Amino acid sequence: MNDKILKKSKAFFDVYERKSGSDKLTTTYCPGCGHGNLHKLIAEALIDFNAADKSIFISPVGCSVFAYYYFKTGNIQAAHGRAPAVAVGAKRAHPESIVISYQGDGDLAAIGGLEILHAANRGEGITVFFVNNAIYGMTGGQMAPTTLIGQKSMTTPRGRTLKNEGYPIKMSEIIATLEAPVYVERVMIGDAKSIRQARKAVRKALKLQIEKNAFCFIEVLSACPSNLKMDPKQGIKWVQDVLQKYYPLGVKKDISEEFERKDVSRDNFDPSQLQNILNITESKIDKGKIEQFKNNEFTHEFRIAGFGGQGVLSLGTVLSEMGMRHDYQVSWIPSYGPEMRGGTANCSVKISDKKIGSPLVANPTVLIAMNGPSLDKFENDVISGGTIVYDSSLIDRKPIRDDVNIIPIPATKMADELGTTKAANMIIIGALIKKLGILSIDVVLDSLGEVMKNKKLVELNKKALLKGIEYIKSL
């Protein structure tokens, strides 16, 4: 078995052409470093499982940033900490591919803590190799989240303390608490026996992705002799004697037997159905009716305001949609955000036969006030000669202005008579249509079916509209 490990896998390039410098045959890894061994185990498994060609290797920031020098697989190099997120983008794009997310301890457990947690929690169909050597390697020996208490580093020159840095983090144990991960094991690049165990774990994890799209997490304790300021042998001994004590080896979770293959495929899509899916449908309104009616030379600017729940915003959208069906230019703009949730709502609508510049309404030609505060707030903004429509069943006072048309409608009371308070906004639309004369009653009634999202309400709204129209006639 060991012979096979020592032989160079076909998942590696023969010559490392991407590597800078003249030596294209050896890796950039220091003697005694675990990356080389782990790379070999992965490469060997990919060939044995006939998966190298369809593999995508995500390399992190850190010493293994150059994994693409060596692996003859698709290679995407990720930003610091983000390998699992990048892996998600790749795996979702190519569900049939084998995606390997490879990270060190700073990358995975510090700056990338969130990405690994959520990739694991979603059970992404990727394999994660986490190299834990308890130190930042490439940046020059700073403390890692996995650095042991008392361990000296460039940023813990007197040793890591509980007081200042807290406990080293045990990622395998954390990942194993989640529901979705299928197989979580901590292994070690130490003596031959431990490497054999690591090999088994690497192969099992990759196989589980190939066969079941299972999320597997393999933590690999590894030496960084250069930054530990030890020789390779001492480094490996330190991993075995010291690091392993805090990070016990072994399987932390394994539900691989009962885990059923995860379907990561995308849904089928028939491009000829695109218009239906996007609800893009041609209006069936009789163009003749529109042409017959069409008004020229007008711009109406509406401010529509009331309590949340009175249908203020939809009053605006329905009015706009009706305008659009008359081939007018229309715009609708809400007051949005927390305001919307705070109980009052208002929106601005413009309907014009000309191109609309600003969609904002400062001085409406028509104010629709559905409650008292709205009348108080906006009455003075209405242009001279404009119109104020207000719900006289909810507003006690009359508008003060004497230079505008005033139309009181007991819309809420009338809606209650129809059986639902919610129809008040439609009653007001009916009144407006009659009063303003810019929309054809015929076209509006024909359009209701297209405009209303809830088709059950079309008949009721038709009644409400007509009630509003009748009310204006009766004045």
For residues 221 and 215, give the distance between their C-alpha atoms in angstroms, rounded to a whole number.
Answer: 20
Query: By C-beta, is 124 or 219 nearer to other proteins?
Result: 124
Query: What is the helix (H) or strand (E) element at residue 431, kind and residue range?
Result: helix 424-436
For residue 420, the minimal CB distance to other proteins (Å) is 24
For residue 107, the minimal CB distance to other proteins (Å) is 12
Q: CB-hemisphere CA count at 13 Å for 411?
A: 34
For residue 460, the minimal CB distance to other proteins (Å) is 21
For residues 341 and 75, give the distance between their C-alpha atoms in angstroms, rounded to a whole number.
Answer: 47
For residue 329, the minimal CB distance to other proteins (Å) is 8
Q: CB-hemisphere CA count at 13 Å for 75?
A: 17
How many distinct helices (H) and strands (E) make up the chain?
20, 13
CB 185 within 8 A of CB 201: yes
Strand-pairing partners, residue 305, are: 346, 369
Query: By C-beta, is 163 or 341 nearer to other proteins?
Result: 341
For residues 104 and 128, give the distance between their C-alpha atoms in angstroms, rounded to a whole number.
Answer: 11
For residue 136, the minimal CB distance to other proteins (Å) is 18
For residue 47, the minimal CB distance to other proteins (Å) is 12
Distance of CA 359 to CAs 324, 329, 450, Å? 15, 11, 24
Positions that interact with other proteins (CB under 8 A): 18, 20, 52-56, 58, 65, 68, 72-79, 82, 85-90, 92-94, 96-98, 114-115, 117-118, 266-269, 274-275, 277-283, 317, 320-321, 324, 329-334, 336-338, 356-360, 362
Query: By C-beta, is 6 or 280 nearer to other proteins?
Result: 280
Query: By C-beta, is 257 or 267 nearer to other proteins?
Result: 267
Give the residue carrying structure tokens 């507003």: 395
CB 112 within 8 A of CB 82: yes
CB 137 within 8 A of CB 104: yes
CB 392 within 8 A of CB 409: yes
Query: What is the helix (H) or strand (E) element at residue 155, kind and residue range?
Result: none
Query: By C-beta, is 73 or 133 nearer to other proteins?
Result: 73
Query: By C-beta, is 54 or 237 nearer to other proteins?
Result: 54
User: How far is the first Cα of the chain from the last one, in angstroms, to the nearest whole number?
Assistant: 98
Query: By C-beta, is 40 or 72 nearer to other proteins?
Result: 72
For residues 56 and 41, give the distance between their C-alpha atoms in angstroms, rounded to a whole number.
Answer: 16
Give the residue carrying structure tokens 């990942």: 175
For residue 373, the minimal CB distance to other proteins (Å) is 20
3-state helix, strand, coil in the chain (%, to 5): 40, 15, 40
Query: By C-beta, is 109 or 221 nearer to other proteins?
Result: 109
Class of residue 325 by CB neighbours under 10 A (exposed 0-12, middle 13-18, buried 19+):
buried
Burial 458-475 (b: 16+ CB within 10 A, else e): eebbbbbbbbbbebbeee
Listing DSSP states for 110-132 in one string gives: IITHHHHHHHHHHT-S-EEEEEE
CB 189 within 8 A of CB 198: yes
For residue 210, the minimal CB distance to other proteins (Å) is 12
For residue 179, the minimal CB distance to other proteins (Å) is 16
For residue 16, the minimal CB distance to other proteins (Å) is 12
For residue 117, the minimal CB distance to other proteins (Å) is 8
Strand-pairing partners, residue 58, are: 76, 101
Query: By C-beta, is 96 or 402 nearer to other proteins?
Result: 96
For residue 354, the minimal CB distance to other proteins (Å) is 9
